[in-house]
């Protein structure tokens, strides 16, 4: 793929994925302004480095990785505690956010949180998540199941107590 074509394909993918990029950034930043900054920085990086994409089929995966890494860098750099005031979903703020779930997500490691967010918030398939994270699909499955188990222990402590009684 020629550099001109790569540039154009990256730009097209950015335009068609902009809302999803924002949602992903927002799950990390939990703040509209910060999420927009993350997306803007990600778009800049993607366009600047469009020539580094080897195949057209990997553009979307490559773009997701840029957004995730930019969000994580932003959070680390600003040493931010993620606010849980609002939650972005489907283009509008949810007036009844599930604070327990949001707080529980913050207890996961960065990789665990990323897998859960991509799987359930962005409806990515496990093999797509594996490509984005540059991991084996079975590793992603293990991370997902471990993460869900952690979330269940936090969100449903009574279920965990009942399960321990029967072990």
> How far apart are the C-alpha atoms of 33 and 2, rounded to whole Å?
35
Task: Judge whether 1-97 and 98-167 match in fold.
Answer: no
Q: How far apart are CA 134 and CA 132, in angstroms?
A: 6
The CATH number of the structural domain formed by 98-167 is 1.10.10.10
Write the CATH number of the domain with boundaries 1-97: 1.10.1740.10
Tokens of 130: 């594996």
| Other residues' Cβ atoms within 10 Å of the Cβ of residue 39 | 24
Q: Residue 161: what pLDDT?
A: 56
Number of helices (H) and strands (E), helices first, in the chain?
Answer: 8, 2
Residue ranges covered by each domain of the chain? 1-97, 98-167
Residue 97 has pLDDT above 70, yes or no: no
**pLDDT, tens digit, for every residue of 23-74?**
888 888 888 999 999 999 999 999 999 988 888 888 988 999 999 899 988 8
Which pLDDT score is estimated for 148? Answer: 92
CA separation, residue 78 to residues 24, 32, 107, 113 (Å): 18, 15, 19, 19
Q: Measured at the alpha carbon of residue 10, what is the angle toward residues 12 and 6, in degrees to the nearest 5?
A: 115
Band of residue 91 on the pLDDT scale cut at 50, 70, 90: very low
pLDDT band at 105 (very low <50, low <70, confident <90, very high): confident
Predicted confidence (pLDDT) per residue in 138-156, tens digit: 999 999 999 999 988 888 8
Q: In this structure, are residues 110 and 72 in contact, taking their beta carbons and an 8 Å threshold? A: yes
- Half-sphere exposure of residue 45: CA atoms within 13 angstroms, side-chain side: 17
Distance CA 69, CA 61 (A): 12
pLDDT tens digits for 110-138? 889 889 888 887 788 999 899 888 899 99
Residue-level length of the chain: 167
């Amino acid at each position: 793929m020629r550099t001109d074509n790569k540039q154009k394909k990256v730009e097209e993918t950015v335009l068609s994925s902009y809302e999803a990029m924002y949602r992903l950034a927002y799950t990390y930043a939990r703040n509209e302004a910060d999420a927009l900054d993350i997306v803007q920085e990600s778009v800049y990086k993607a366009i600047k480095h469009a020539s580094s994409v080897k195949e057209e089929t990997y553009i979307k995966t490559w773009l997701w990785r840029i957004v995730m890494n930019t969000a994580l860098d932003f959070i680390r750099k600003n040493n931010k505690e993620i606010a849980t005031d609002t939650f972005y979903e489907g283009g509008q703020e949810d007036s009844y956010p599930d604070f327990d779930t949001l707080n529980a997500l913050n207890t996961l490691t960065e990789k665990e949180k990323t897998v859960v967010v991509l799987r359930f918030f962005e409806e990515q398939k496990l093999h797509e998540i594996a490509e984005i994270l540059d991991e084996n699909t079975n590793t992603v499955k293990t991370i997902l199941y471990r993460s869900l188990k952690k979330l269940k222990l936090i969100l449903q402590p009574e279920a965990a107590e009942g399960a321990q009684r029967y072990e």
